[in-house]
Amino acid sequence: MKELIKDLQKQALSFKIDSREDLEAFRMKFLVKKGMLNDLFSKFRELDGQAKKEFGGPLNDLKQKVQSIYDDKSAELLSNEAAAGPVYDDSLPGLPLDAGSRHPISIVLNQMIDVFMKMGFSISEGPEVEDDWHNFTALNFPENHPARDMQDTFFIDEDFSLRTHTSSVQVRVMESEDPPIRTISPGRVYRNEAISARSNSFFHQIEGLYIDKGVSFADLKQTLYLFVQEFFGEGTKVRFRPSYFPFTEPSAEMDIYLGVTTEEDRRLTKGSGWLEILGCGMVDENVLRNNDIDPETYSGFAFGMGVERITLFKYGVKDLRIFFENDIRFLRQFQGEE
């Protein structure tokens, strides 16, 4: 037994280990269940009691030494590999890189912003969590006024809520700037509405505001006519219908004519051929006064449009909810668009 222990120790110490393959060969020869070390322990179990006492210690020392050789060489190889860095095969083809794409909402929003910027509008942004003054009161929504019921609001507490429109940004602009003011306020808004193919509890708006001396409803109509011609194409038919909004007087809604030629047009327009795309009107005198602007000197108009509604029309999408599902199959269709 003594000679067997010495011989196995000699073989283990002289075993050359320069690679992962050598290390695995060492393990297979000495450390696995059918390896030389385990075979030696099998022979040890056949010895009598006195012999076991004599060779038990040297055999355990051998086992520890063989395991130590394996562990030390494994750590050494790992350290050498880390120092050398990753190994690349230059002959292999490169991995393809998928081109990213903008979200369709972002594409349409950017295109709408470009049109208004060409008309001289600046861009204003504000917080999505608003206080009552900026979201309601300054916009001619008195406390307990029925007009507040027009918008189902996500309240955070008694004083703050998620903004229901980007008109709150316009209030902040009127507070901080003197007329003339010509700005648009793009952003996300929130309303406590049922989610369906045509509506969601959050969506995107672009609202516009123009205040100066002598601004009239004719200026409003011409601005919106120009937007429609630039965005939807020349010859697009539009119409204005009387409406009501607390912060504008008079107020109107504007429709574009799609026709009833296709089933999609009939569905989008509910059979009328007309699709409502925005609300607008002359800024109410109370709104001007609330923001320290003299209505005797200045007048202005405001408008607001939903980006999702226009995106539905532009791309022929049938269900608004698909915009928010992050389905890569849907989003890949917009690669290359800006």
Position of tokens 């923001």? 291
- The pLDDT tens digits of the residues spanning 47-58 come to 787 877 776 787
Q: What percent of the chain has pLDDT over 90?
A: 37
* Six token digits for residue 89: 């095969």
338 — pLDDT class (breaks 50, 70, 90): low
pTM for the full predicted model: 0.67
In sequence order, the 6+-apart residues with CB closer than 8 A to the CB of 237 are 256, 257
Provide the pLDDT for residue 60: 82
Higher pLDDT among residues 25 and 92, named by residue: 25
> What's the Cα-to-Cα distance from 2 to each of 7, 31, 39, 267, rounded to whole Å?
9, 20, 14, 94
Higher pLDDT among residues 147 and 209, named by residue: 209
Q: Provide the pairing of β-strand 238-245 with 202-212.
A: unpaired
- The pLDDT tens digits of the residues spanning 196-236 come to 777 788 899 999 999 999 999 999 999 999 999 999 888 88
Q: Is the pLDDT of residue 148 over 80?
A: no
- The pLDDT tens digits of the residues spanning 295-313 come to 999 999 999 999 988 888 7
Decide: 211 and 173 in contact? Cβ < 8 Å. Answer: no
Of 3.40.80.10, 3.40.605.10, 3.20.20.210, 3.30.930.10, which CATH number belongs to 104-334?
Answer: 3.30.930.10
Range ranked top by mean pLDDT from 18-27, 32-41, 43-52, 289-298: 289-298
What residues does each domain of the chain span? 2-84, 104-334
Closest CA to 219 of 275, 165, 283: 283
Closest CA to 307 of 105, 113, 107: 105
Separation between Cα atoms, residue 232 and residue 131, nearest integer Å: 36
Provide the pLDDT for residue 87: 66
| Number of C-beta neighbours around residue 299 at 10 A | 21
Closest CA to 108 of 314, 330, 266: 314
- The 3-state DSSP class for residue 282 equals strand
* Six token digits for residue 140: 């001619």
Q: Is the pLDDT of residue 147 over 60?
A: no
- The pLDDT tens digits of the residues spanning 162-176 come to 998 999 999 999 999
Q: Is the pLDDT of residue 146 over 80?
A: no
Q: Is the pLDDT of residue 151 over 70?
A: no
Alpha-helix runs per DSSP H in 34-166? 36-44, 49-84, 104-118, 132-135
Higher pLDDT among residues 117 and 87, named by residue: 117
Q: What percent of the chain has pLDDT over 70?
A: 94
Provide the pLDDT for residue 82: 73
Provide the pLDDT for residue 170: 94
Higher pLDDT among residues 301 and 100, named by residue: 301
Average pLDDT of the chain is 86
Provide the pLDDT for residue 150: 58
